[in-house]
């Protein structure tokens, strides 16, 4: 396989210092994720999944080790550069949806473009087409509290896509949803992978979601313990 | 787009209406106080300036030291002093008046107003006429040849002083002597003036026994002379005549400019003190904004994390919060300016109703309005700096975890 690496973790260590105690959450993680790949990272709670996600999504920098995003070392970047990079390259989908309650669905989707200075006309058009794509074309002027959990998560997906990022990073996206809404969200992610050729990184403790992945990374106690390839992944 | 940086904070402010209004309240009280005080003060200053303009800047006012217009002073000036003044080179002409606290009787009721004795010689009358700012309301002015004739203040046209309105042609007793009322002066606005009584100086001297005395002298300087310089000359000659040392003068000379300056100075001090107090209330308002913003930052910790995850840079978060606190300032400014103008206009209305139009005309200055608005935005932004800074510095990972 001659695939381009989007993100590469080299011996990533993350330690938290709480008073006298040092907590080593990631203990030298090595991982390469290729362009267009659908990777599921699974592990029990406390395995360091969320911390790993923060590193991959460049929300945080490692204590030691290197993270290369499209070949660029992020550990040397300023906070501002990291923010800029996140906005362009990574689309986040959270378990809690994390929409801004004062903004409508449309405004929430547009939000990331504001920080990238995308022209008004272009961004509205794009946001509308994305909301249509996730099946919410009729609800663009609704505030988050007027939408169901599944609908909120679909708004979040549209928001994650607005800047056309390389990577979609989903942290327990179905964790707060009933099984039907969860199914819709997973179908959308699968479609983004197969049709839009997006790189999807899904973090979950739900072993059932492994069937969507081409590759499953098992994390335990801050270390990668097993990597499985699934050539018959369900699309 | 810049408009987004106003829209997003604006929506946040609307989300917590009560808190936003309370924050605005803290600001607009201070702003309203400042605007109304400056408008009123400016109006008062303009009114005073107008009065002195009407008085004429080429006039000197000479009176015994102590007391008001010679009343209540132990010093006596005489016709001889008037002659000395008239002889000063820089003086065109001068006229003397007498004043006393007298008694007026009408309709079996008695009142004790200021009674002025005015010259009736045409030239002297003209001089006083130039210096006086009042107008005839009814009837006529005093004129040459009048003796036991009286010109009364505006309040005598109503029944509140003597129980019954006095009419032109009525007979009144002044200092026990019968006078015929020839006219009334239009409303001036201060009770002592509006209750005043004016009679010819000869009659005044006769009734009140001021044979030789002069209580107040108005002198006009020659065209092209500097009133202040002439005033010094008059002072010198009067010192010599009255045999007093320099610095120990028992008389006072004032020019309209001095009056205006003295008034202006007092007014400025009063204004500075009041505005200082208003400024303190604005400071408190600013602290209110700061408090609100700190609370907002805390409450929106998670949202800050979300914005950062979505690619917001620290400077962009900082801008969002600064705009929000600036909007609090601006909102407080708009409400405050409106209320301040309203309050000033209301005060003017009440004043005019109570004492007459001469005293106050509120000056609404566009510079004051725009300046105040800018200032209130500034107060808002300054108050928001620290909270906005703390918001911008939050770590995205920690903020996202915050519940």
End-to-end CA distance of chain B: 30
| B192, B193, B194, B200 alpha-carbon torsion, rounded to 10° | 120
CB contact under 8 A, A111 and B308: no
* Axis crossing angle, helix A120-133 with helix A105-114, rounded to the nearest 10: 130
C-beta contacts of A144-147 below 8 A and 24+ residues apart: A144/A97, A144/A99, A144/A100, A144/A101, A144/A103, A144/A105, A144/A108, A145/A101, A147/A105
Nearest Cβ partner of B309 from A86, A102, A116?
A: A86
In this prediction, what percent of chain A has a pLDDT beyond 70?
97
pLDDT one-digit tens code per residue, A72-130: 898 888 989 999 999 999 999 999 999 999 999 999 999 999 999 888 889 999 999 99
How near does any CA of chain A get to the CA of B284, in Å? 29
- The residue among A41, A33, A35 whose CA lies nearest residue A170 is A41
d(C-alpha B370, C-alpha B373), whole Å: 5
Partner residue facing B303 (CB), from A100, A117, A120: A100
Question: Half-sphere exposure of B386 toward its Cβ, with a 13 Å CA cutoff?
Answer: 10
> B133-181 pLDDT, tens per residue?
678 888 998 888 888 999 999 999 998 888 889 999 999 999 889 999 9
The more confident residue out of B388 and B271 is B388
Bridge partners of A219, per DSSP, are: A224
- Taking the CA of residue A213 and the nearest CA in chain B, the distance in Å comes to 24
How many Cβ pairs closer than 8 A exist between chain A and B?
A: 68
Q: Do B383 and B330 meet the contact criterion of CB atoms below 8 Å apart?
A: no
Cβ-defined contact of A115 to B14 (cutoff 8 Å): no
Question: Is it the case that residue A232 has pLDDT exceeding 80?
Answer: no
Cα within 13 Å of Cα(B304), Cβ side? 29
Q: What's the average model confidence in pLDDT over B33-47? A: 86
Distance from CA of A83 to the nearest CA of B (A): 4
Return the pLDDT at A151. 95
d(C-alpha B119, C-alpha B125), whole Å: 6
Q: Indicate whether A234 pLDDT > 60.
A: no
Instruction: Please say if the pLDDT value at position A233 is more than 60.
Output: no
* pLDDT (average), residues B95-110: 89
* Residue in B303, B313, B400 nearest the CB of A115: B313
Residue-level pLDDT at B358: 61
- Structure confidence at residue B121 as a pLDDT band (50, 70, 90): confident
* Chain A residues near residue B8 by CB distance under 8 angstroms: 102-103, 114
Give the separation between CA B60 and CA B258, rounded to whole angstroms.
10
The verdict on a CB contact (< 8 Å) between B1 and A117 is yes
Task: For residue B197, give Cα distances in angstroms to A163, B126, B177, B188.
Answer: 87, 19, 14, 13
Q: Are B205 and B84 in contact (CB under 8 A)?
A: no
B contacts of A94 (beta carbons < 8 Å): 400
Q: Cα dihedral sign for B264, B266, B271, B276?
A: positive
What is the DSSP code (8-state) at residue A214?
S
Say if CB B174 and CB B207 are below 8 A apart.
Answer: yes
Min Cα separation B397/chain A (Å): 6
Percent of chain A with pLDDT over 90: 76
1.10.8.60, 3.40.50.300, 3.20.20.140, 2.30.30.90: which CATH number matches A36-61+77-229? 3.40.50.300
**Under an 8 A CB cutoff, do A115 and B395 touch?**
no
- Answer yes or no: do A102 and B15 touch at CB < 8 A: yes
Residue B298 has pLDDT above 70, yes or no: yes
Q: Do B312 and A92 touch (CB under 8 A)?
A: no
Question: Could you report how far apart the first and last alpha carbons of chain A are, in Å?
Answer: 20
Of B7, B12, B17, B310, which to mutate for an interface test with A (greatest number of A Cβ within 10 Å)?
A: B310
* Chain B interface with A: residues with Cβ < 8 Å: 1, 4-5, 8, 11-12, 14-15, 302-303, 306-316, 395-397, 400
Looking at beta carbons, which residues of chain A come within 8 Å of B14?
A: 102
Q: How near does any CA of chain B get to the CA of A99, in Å?
A: 8
Arithmetic mean of pLDDT, A148-165:
95
Distances (CA, A) of B260 to B44, B127, B188, B255, B268: 12, 20, 18, 9, 12
- pLDDT tens digit sequence for A40-56: 999 988 899 989 999 99
Task: Inform me whether the pLDDT recorded for A2 exceeds 50.
Answer: no
Q: Provide, as residue numbers in chain A, all residues whose Cβ is less than 8 Å from the Cβ of B312.
A: 83, 87, 115
Residue A69 has pLDDT above 80, yes or no: yes
A15 in B contact zone (CB under 8 Å): no
How buried is residue A207: exposed, middle or buried, by Cβ count under 10 Å (0-12/13-18/19+)? exposed
Tell me the residue ranges of DSSP E strands in chain A: 5-18, 21-34, 38-42, 64-69, 72-73, 90-93, 167-171, 199-204, 215-220, 223-229
* Reported confidence tier of residue B68, pLDDT bands at 50, 70, 90: low
Q: Tell me, yes or no, if A179 comes closer than 8 A to chain B by beta carbon.
A: no
Closest CB to A115 among B12, B14, B310:
B310
Q: What is the mean pLDDT of residues A138-165?
A: 95
Kindly tell me the number of DSSP H helices and DSSP E strands found in chain A: 6, 10
Residues of B in Cβ contact (< 8 Å) with A120? 1
Question: A231 to chain B nearest CA, in Å?
Answer: 32
B50/B359 Cα distance (integer angstroms): 10
Q: Dihedral sign for Cα A115, A119, A122, A124, please.
A: positive
Instruction: Report the pLDDT value the prediction gives residue A46, as an integer from 0 to 100.
Output: 85
DSSP string, A135-166: T-TT-TT--GGGS-HHHHHHHHHHHHHTT--S
Shortest CA gap A101–chain B (Å): 9
pLDDT, residue B357, reads 65
Q: How high is the pLDDT of residue A1?
A: 42
Q: Which of B358, B335, B337, B333 is nearest to B348 (CA)?
A: B358
CA closest to A80 among chain B residues: B313
Tokens of B390: 């703390």
Which chain B residues contact residue A117 at CB under 8 A? Answer: 1
> What radius of gyration, in Å, describes the C-alpha atoms of chain A?
18
User: Could you tell me which chain B residue has the CA closest to the CA of A118?
Assistant: B1
Displacement of CA B82 from its chain's centroid (Å): 33
Domain ranges in chain B? 4-51+261-401, 58-254
Domain boundaries, chain A: 36-61+77-229
Q: List the beta bridge partners of residue A224.
A: A219
Pairwise CB contact (< 8 Å): A98 & B309: yes
Beta-carbon separation of A103 and B11 below 8 A? yes
What pLDDT, on a 0 to 100 scale, did the predictor assign at position A160?
96
What's CA B121's distance to the chain center, in Å?
35
What is the C-alpha separation between B293 and B387, in angstroms, rounded? 6
- Chain B residues with beta carbon closer than 8 angstroms to that of A102: 8, 11-12, 14-15
pTM for the predicted model, two decimal places: 0.74
Question: Which of A153-157, A176-180, B98-102, B351-355 shows the lowest mean pLDDT across its residues?
Answer: B351-355
Q: What is the pLDDT of residues B187-200, one digit of tens each?
A: 877 788 889 999 99
In the block, residue with structure tokens 């609404």: B364
Angle, nearest 10°, between helix axes B314-355 and B366-392?
Answer: 150
Q: What number is the average pLDDT over the span A126-143? A: 94
Q: Rounded distance, CA B337 to CA B245, Å?
A: 54
CA-based nearest distance A179→chain B, Å: 25
SS3 A219: strand
Under the banding of pLDDT at 50, 70 and 90, the label for residue A223 is: very high
Q: Determine the pLDDT at residue A91.
A: 95
Lowest model confidence (mean pLDDT) among A200-209, B121-130, B309-318, B322-331: B121-130
| Residues A60, B396: C-beta atoms closer than 8 Å | yes
Is the CB of residue B140 less than 8 Å from the CB of residue B150?
no
Chain A closest CA to B294's CA: distance in Å?
A: 19
Average pLDDT of A26-45?
93
* CA B11 from centre of chain: 43
């Amino acid at each position: 396989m001659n695939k381009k690496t989007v993100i590469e973790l080299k011996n990533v260590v993350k330690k938290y210092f709480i008073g006298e105690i040092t907590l080593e959450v990631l203990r030298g993680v090595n991982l390469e994720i290729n362009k267009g790949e659908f990777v599921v990272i699974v592990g029990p709670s406390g395995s360091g999944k969320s911390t790993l996600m923060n590193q991959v999504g460049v929300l945080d920098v490692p204590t030691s080790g290197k993270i290369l995003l499209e070949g660029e070392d992020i550990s040397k970047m300023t906070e501002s550069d990291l923010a800029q990079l996140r906005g362009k390259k990574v689309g986040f989908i959270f378990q809690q949806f994390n929409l801004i309650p004062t903004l409508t669905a449309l405004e929430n989707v547009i939000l990331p473009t504001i920080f990238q200075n995308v022209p008004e006309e272009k961004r509205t058009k794009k946001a509308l087409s994305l909301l249509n794509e996730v099946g919410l074309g009729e609800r663009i002027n609704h505030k988050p509290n007027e939408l169901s959990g599944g609908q909120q998560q679909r708004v979040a997906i549209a928001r994650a896509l607005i800047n056309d990022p390389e990577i979609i990073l989903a942290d327990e996206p179905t964790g707060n949803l009933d099984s039907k809404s969860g199914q819709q969200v997973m179908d959308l992610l699968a479609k983004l992978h197969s049709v839009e050729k997006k790189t999807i990184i899904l973090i979950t403790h739900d072993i059932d979601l492994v069937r969507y992945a081409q590759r499953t990374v098992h994390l335990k106690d801050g270390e990668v313990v097993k990597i499985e390839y699934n050539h018959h992944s369900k699309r | 787009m810049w408009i987004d940086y106003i829209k997003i904070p604006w929506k946040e402010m609307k989300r917590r209406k009560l808190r936003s209004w309370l924050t605005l309240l803290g600001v607009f009280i201070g702003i309203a106080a400042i605007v109304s005080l400056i408008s009123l003060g400016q109006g008062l200053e303009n009114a005073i300036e107008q009065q002195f303009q009407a008085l004429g800047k080429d006039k000197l006012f000479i009176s015994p030291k102590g007391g008001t217009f010679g009343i209540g002073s132990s010093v006596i000036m005489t016709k001889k002093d008037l002659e000395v003044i008239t002889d000063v080179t820089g003086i065109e002409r001068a006229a003397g008046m007498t004043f006393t606290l007298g008694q007026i009787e009408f309709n079996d009721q008695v009142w004790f107003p200021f009674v002025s004795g005015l010259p009736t010689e045409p030239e002297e009358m003209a001089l006083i006429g130039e210096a006086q700012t009042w107008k005839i309301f009814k009837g006529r002015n005093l004129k040459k040849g009048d003796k036991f004739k009286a010109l009364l203040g505006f309040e005598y046209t109503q029944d509140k002083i003597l129980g019954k309105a006095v009419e032109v042609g009525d007979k009144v007793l002044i200092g026990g002597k019968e006078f015929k009322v020839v006219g009334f002066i239009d409303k001036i606005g201060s009770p002592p003036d509006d209750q005043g009584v004016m009679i010819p100086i000869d009659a005044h001297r006769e009734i009140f026994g001021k044979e030789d005395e002069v209580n107040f002298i108005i002198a006009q300087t020659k065209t092209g002379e500097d009133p202040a310089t002439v005033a010094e000359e008059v002072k010198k000659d009067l010192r010599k005549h009255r045999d007093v040392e320099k610095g120990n003068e028992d008389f006072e000379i004032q020019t309209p400019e001095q009056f205006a300056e003295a008034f202006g100075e007092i007014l400025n001090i009063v204004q500075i003190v009041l505005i200082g107090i208003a400024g303190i209330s604005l400071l408190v308002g600013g602290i209110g904004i700061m408090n609100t913003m700190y609370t907002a930052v805390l409450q929106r910790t998670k949202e800050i994390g979300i914005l950062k995850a979505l690619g917001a840079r620290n400077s962009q978060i900082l801008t969002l919060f600064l705009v929000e606190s600036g909007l609090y300032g601006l909102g407080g400014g708009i409400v405050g300016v409106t209320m301040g103008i309203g309050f000033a206009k209301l005060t003017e209305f009440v004043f005019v109703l109570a004492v007459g139009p001469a005293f106050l005309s509120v000056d609404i200055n566009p510079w004051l309005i725009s300046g105040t608005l800018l200032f209130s935005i500034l107060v808002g932004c300054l108050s928001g700096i620290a909270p906005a800074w703390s918001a911008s510095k939050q770590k995205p990972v920690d903020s996202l975890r915050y519940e």
